[in-house]
Amino acid sequence: MLRFLWLCSVLLLGCPGAPAAEVQPLLVRSTSVGQLFRLNPPVMGVPFDGDGRSTFEASRTYVNLWARDKRYLVDAEVIDDQARMAIGLADWLQVGVGLSARHLAQAQTDQVAITVHDILMIGQDGRLEVGKHKTRYKIPDYSLEYSKKDRGLNLSEQITGDMSIPLYGDAASSWRFSGSLLGSYEMSKASPYFAGARDLGLQLNGRYAWDQGAAFGAITRLSFDQSQQVAVATRPQQGGWVLGYLHRFNQDQEAVTQFMVYQPVFRQLGQLSRNTYEIHLGYRHHWSRLAFELTLIENMFYYYNSPDWGFNVGIRSLIF
């Protein structure tokens, strides 16, 4: 998967990128524990700029997870790869297709999480008692368990599709709104749900732009495939929202902040059945009309169902 993403990126380095004047959310989706297995889209943004427009984007996300309750233990590092290509078929229609994969990794960054918690005076919640650099994902109630031997195994591998239409505004408007239909097809046989699971969703996006920046937001509603009996109890539907701010320092440099809230995926699993709160702090640089970005990921409010910390690197390019 990684080779595929970076091969595509290298091939597109000579292609023009997204103009700096556009308002683009960060290329990162929720990284909380419950989001690893089902449809989980990033913020689509308001993507319309004309018939025939084609874009490519790819990203890699790393997160360090520590989550413990009486009914589960998660002590792991996860890598999430994504790639997507979108084509404007008309001024009123854009379609996209993508590929994503999530797998367990081991980069030995537990000490970073411990140090950050010490600096911020946040409790370690038992992390110091179990040793560093372990890989454990256990939910005994549902006989779900991953360990060190499962590193590199795709916990989820999805083909995704989306279709977006504008709802209000044009390229010259300060206010713009759009809507997107989303879908995914699960290919991984290692998923705790089932290969062939089809999840669907709807996302409404809006933004208000001015000379030096923009405010943007999204509301997402997801519907999870319930056609088969599965090992882990899952909500049939899930909602979430994102608020973001983009500040443009100059034509080439931007800072982007996103605050993301999602309902839980799991049912009746203690802290894993509470809402998740994440903040994404990103920097984007435009070079020769390419866009590169680096994002820091932190949890908020609850530390038992969200990432201790993580980061994302991404690239976006306009093909034609």
Q: How many CA atoms lie within 13 A of 229 on its CB side?
A: 1
Domains of the chain with bracketed CATH: 2-318 (2.40.160.40)
Q: Is the Cβ–Cβ distance between 143 and 150 less than 8 Å? A: no
**Looking at the predicted structure, is the pLDDT value of residue 240 above 80?**
yes
pLDDT digits (tens, 9 = 90+) for 109-143: 777 777 777 776 666 666 666 767 778 788 887 77
pLDDT digits (tens, 9 = 90+) for 52-92: 788 999 999 999 888 777 788 888 889 999 999 999 898 88
Predicted local distance difference test score (pLDDT) of residue 128: 62
Q: What average pLDDT score do residues 270-297 get?
A: 91
Q: What average pLDDT score do residues 213-227 get?
A: 94
* Spatial distance between the Cα atoms of 63 and 296, rounded to a whole number of angstroms: 10
Three-class secondary structure assignment of 222-242: EECCCCCCCCCCECCEEEEEE
Whole-structure pTM over 0.75, yes or no? yes
Q: What average pLDDT score do residues 36-53 get?
A: 83
Predicted local distance difference test score (pLDDT) of residue 2: 46
Where are the alpha helices (H) located in the chain, listed in sequence order? 2-11, 110-119
Q: What average pLDDT score do residues 286-306 get?
A: 85
